[in-house]
Amino acid sequence: MFHKEGYTIISISLIITIIINLTSSYLLDHLMISKIIGIITLIIIILILQFFRNPKRVTELNNSLIISPVDGKVVAIEKVYEKEYFKDERIQISVFMSPLNVHVTRYPNSGIVKFSKYHPGKYLVAWHPKSSEKNERTTVVVENMNFGEVLYRQIAGAVARRIVNYAKVGDDVTQGADAGFIKFGSRVDLFLPLDSKIKVELNQIVKGGLDTIAEK
């Protein structure tokens, strides 16, 4: 299964690949060169297909848990001052996604979307300390009864050039449901209340919609 955000890119890539291979086989007399071109274009298509894959995940809904919004590696667990929305101290959990990870963003908790804002910006590498403030990003806040307001931030990386965010203020969203997509490498930050019980460690690999980040 592939994410809907990849349909256009996949279709165009397949058409270009077919044209390139038909042209090379027709115009080039050297069979080996045609085979090399075919192998290279096949590898590119496989990479594009794996990037836009959207595996089905069954999330066990639990308002006392915050689940990982994305697949990737936990690269930061720290107390910070969140200055865009809360304007107070929160626990920040950052998950970095390589180009090989699934890039679907899923809602970390069920509730009502209280805030959703897009910020244009730079394209620093996603693990850069300033990427959370300087890079292209979206900030979304979802409120439920157990955790209160939880903020997650999609952050574009050095390769990423488009963030897709489906969250709209007033939406009643479900934990684990599709919340968007970040194309070609990125990071997601979670900002949680200080009394949250963190259930992950640095460098831990997590899966979006399945693994628990924190609990109350």
Contact of 71 with 55, CB cutoff 8 Å = no
- In terms of DSSP bridges, do strands 205-206 and 178-183 run parallel, antiparallel, or are they unpaired? unpaired
- In terms of DSSP bridges, do strands 197-198 and 186-192 run parallel, antiparallel, or are they unpaired? unpaired
Active site residue 196: no
- How far from chain centre, in Å, is Cα 117? 16
* Helical spans, DSSP H, in 72-184: 131-134
Contact of 128 with 78, CB cutoff 8 Å = no
Active-site entry in 68, 132, 186, 196: 186
In residues, how long is the chain?
Answer: 216
Residue entry with tokens 């060169």: 33
Contact of 107 with 166, CB cutoff 8 Å = no
Q: How far apart are CA 103 and CA 107, in angstroms?
A: 13
Q: Which residues are catalytic?
A: 186
